[in-house]
Amino acid sequence: MGTGSVAPDMVATSPDTGLVFQGHLRESGLMQDLDLIARPSSRLSAVALARRLGPADADRGPTYRDLADRIRAALLDGRLAVGTGLPSERELAGGLALSRTTVGAAYALLRDQGWLDSRRGSGSRLRLPDGAAPPGLAGVGAAGAAIFGYPAVGSDDIIDLTVASLPPPADALRAAVVAATEDLMTHAATDGYHPYGLPELREVIADRFTAAGVPTTVEQVLVTSGAQHAFTLGLGEFSAAGDRVLLECPTYPIALDAVRHHRRVPVPVGLAASCDVAPDGSTPTAEQTWDLGVIGPALRHSTPRLAYLIPDFHNPTGAVMPWSTREALVAAARSAGTLLMVDESFRDISFPGSGPLPPPVAAADTRRGGEIVLTLGSVSKPLWGGLRTGWVRGTPAQIRRLAAARALGDMAGPVLDQLVATRLLQEPQGALDVQRARVAAGAQAVQSALARYLPTWRWTTPAGGTSLWVRLPEASATELAAVAPAAGVRVVAGPRFGPDGTMGEHLRLPFTASPDVLTEAVRRLSGVAEQAAERARSSIPGWLA
């Protein structure tokens, strides 16, 4: 698709993808189109909102105030996204078996406090009061330092938990490098440029998809410099400035950064993490984590051009999307004309004995034509971040477009790196066994340390991936990220994983370091947790009193 302006009501079909989409750009360009943010990104039904809020609590005072408090809390911890449209007073009253007067009073209280914006004819949407958003970028500098290699500030003894990456499986990597060095000479007689990637690596990747239940040919695979490179290529080629991009909330922060950098409009949909225990003690099931009652309306009302999802050991929550949800999601995306960019970077990092994962999301797509899902993958997460080799799977037409766009930036990937990746992926089991044992031991260490040192915190219990999503007793994660370096730890607070400065009660704790290091990191955090909580309490503005 081109990047030129189209009329808002113009409907066009991409000749390369077959997707039908509605153009969002006006001739005036991006700045005027940013009023998209002022519209509700989705309008929830009363049933979907009730699932997000949990049961009422009679101890919290009048019913209308309890309802307002639950809506506000769901917004702040990420269960509801900023911009979400609420059901009408009449609909919610019927859905919650409350009087319309009670619901109206709750909405009025939220409007008075700045949490709700109501407009005649367009309903009510959630917002943050002016000046109320927590300083969501606090702690981001530490993450940036880890990602971009800036010099660390502070003690040499500091434990960095800002990046969830594993060390390599040394023996397997060493053997692959030796074999790849020998293989390199067979390529020395060529020019060395492979815009689509080395044929042997593309074949190995295609075979992996086919074995997973997604029939794939070499022509459907493009090798990239990691999954993030694949995402950025797809973002640039299949969307334009001002287009909406649906993302989970929380999500991978560098993907969110890319969406903003390319001047797309993020449309967040809240996930229900298993650490978010309702007042009755229940926790969300796998089917409730990706709530189609939330995602479906977001797709219908926002008509995002793209959606970025992490269904396998989601980063940062570790959740796994059930097969039934994958099928329904593909059907909803097809109806909305939304291209799904599915990141499978964590799919190979399951704990030993955790059982098989559902088939890839693309398996639900291939049965209906196969043009709705672009699948991203990488060896960086399961094996080693120093191997900058990833891939994207799509239709041959989509791959041709992405390869042409890729050639404008770096022509082709390094041959030696791709040969190493080929060797590792040809017989991956031994290397993956090492990595899976590492993450399982790390996860156990972090959970045991949390239970010992910080028992009032709650956390997810994933069966794979690289991190826990932790919920603190109060919204002090940003303050904790600020004071933790003084105790010798760097962490990233929840607001970094969403676009709106919410999720201040959450923290991501990777478990990719050694168990001893992880245990010590949690012990150090316990020493400053109350200091951070006190700082958070002292900064709470009057409207929360």
CATH number at residue 146: 3.90.1150.10
Regarding whether 318 and 334 lie in a shared domain, the answer is yes
Which pLDDT tens digit goes with each residue over 267-322? 999 998 888 765 556 677 777 899 998 899 999 988 999 999 999 999 999 999 99
Regarding whether 354 and 420 lie in a shared domain, the answer is yes
Tokens 């607070």 appear where? 493
Q: Does residue 77 form part of some domain?
A: yes
Regarding whether 256 and 145 lie in a shared domain, the answer is no
Regarding whether 414 and 313 lie in a shared domain, the answer is yes
Residue 23 scores a pLDDT above 50: no
Q: Does residue 299 form part of some domain?
A: yes
> Per-residue pLDDT averaged across 41-62, rounded?
76
* pLDDT score for 281: 61
Regarding whether 436 and 418 lie in a shared domain, the answer is no
* pLDDT score for 384: 94
Regarding whether 502 and 364 lie in a shared domain, the answer is no
Indicate the range of 107-116, 140-149, 218-227 predicted with least confidence. Answer: 140-149
More confident residue, 66 or 349: 349
Q: Does residue 1 form part of some domain?
A: no
Q: Does residue 33 form part of some domain?
A: no
Q: Does residue 356 form part of some domain?
A: yes
Residue 508 scores a pLDDT above 80: yes
* pLDDT score for 131: 53
Among 255, 217, 245, CA closest to 399: 217
CATH number at residue 89: 1.10.10.10
Mean pLDDT of the chain: 84
More confident residue, 14 or 374: 374
* pLDDT score for 17: 35
More confident residue, 119 or 210: 210
Regarding whether 145 and 290 lie in a shared domain, the answer is no
Beta carbons within 8 Å of 442's beta carbon, 6+ residues apart: 510, 511, 512, 513, 514, 515, 518
Identity of the highest mean pLDDT range in 54-68, 141-155, 185-199, 392-406:
392-406
Parent domain of 492: 140-163+431-544
> Per-residue pLDDT averaged across 141-153, rounded?
43
Which pLDDT tens digit goes with each residue over 211-268? 999 999 999 999 999 999 999 999 999 999 999 999 999 999 999 999 999 999 999 9
Regarding whether 516 and 379 lie in a shared domain, the answer is no
335-338: long-range contacts, CB 8 A cutoff, minimum separation 24: 335/299, 335/300, 336/299, 336/300, 336/303, 336/304, 337/19, 337/20, 337/21, 337/22, 337/303, 338/19, 338/246, 338/299, 338/303, 338/304, 338/305, 338/306, 338/307, 338/372
Regarding whether 423 and 460 lie in a shared domain, the answer is no
Where does a domain end: 392, 427, 462? 427
Regarding whether 389 and 268 lie in a shared domain, the answer is yes
Regarding whether 464 and 498 lie in a shared domain, the answer is yes
Residue 152 scores a pLDDT above 50: no
Length of the chain: 545
Is the Cβ–Cβ distance between 430 and 315 less than 8 Å? Answer: no
* pLDDT score for 275: 83
> Per-residue pLDDT averaged across 7-28, rounded?
34
Where does a domain end: 402, 427, 452? 427
Where does a domain end: 427, 447, 481? 427
For residue 20, what are the β-bridge partners?
Answer: 13
Identify the burial level of 31 via C-beta atoms within 10 angstroms of its C-beta, where 0-12 means exposed, 13-18 middle and 19 or more buried: exposed
Q: Does residue 149 form part of some domain?
A: yes
Indicate the range of 102-116, 133-147, 273-287, 306-320 predicted with least confidence. Answer: 133-147
* pLDDT score for 150: 39
CATH number at residue 242: 3.40.640.10
Residue 54 scores a pLDDT above 80: no
Among 531, 530, 220, CA closest to 394: 220
More confident residue, 157 or 454: 454
Indicate the range of 32-41, 350-359, 376-385, 462-471 predicted with least confidence. Answer: 32-41
> Per-residue pLDDT averaged across 319-348, rounded?
96
* pLDDT score for 253: 93
* pLDDT score for 188: 87
Signed CA dihedral, 243, 247, 251, 255: sign only: negative
> Per-residue pLDDT averaged across 163-171, rounded?
94
More confident residue, 511 or 58: 511
Tally the domains of the chain: 3
Position 69 confidence tier, pLDDT thresholds 50, 70, 90: confident
* pLDDT score for 181: 94
Q: What percentage of the chain exceeds 70 in pLDDT? A: 83
Which pLDDT tens digit goes with each residue over 365-406? 976 667 999 999 999 999 999 999 999 999 999 999 999 999
* pLDDT score for 155: 52
Regarding whether 471 and 409 lie in a shared domain, the answer is no
Position 539 confidence tier, pLDDT thresholds 50, 70, 90: low
* pLDDT score for 2: 37
